[in-house]
Amino acid sequence: MRIGELARRAGVSTRALRYYEEQGLLRPDRRPSGYRDYGEQAVTTVRHIRLLLSAGLGTAVIAEILPCVPDDTTVLAPTCPELLDGLAEERARITASMQRLAAARDILDALIATGAPSADREPAATATTAGAAGRGAGQEM
Q: Which residues pair with 30 in a beta bridge?
A: 36
| CA–CA separation, 67 and 139 (whole Å) | 66
What does pTM read for this prediction? 0.63
Closest CA to 6 of 53, 51, 48, 39: 39
Contacts of 95 (CB under 8 A, 6+ apart): none
Closest CA to 44 of 2, 87, 73: 73
pLDDT digit string, tens, across residues 76-111: 666 677 788 888 888 898 899 999 999 999 999 999
Give the residue, 29 or 87, on which the prediction is more confident. 29
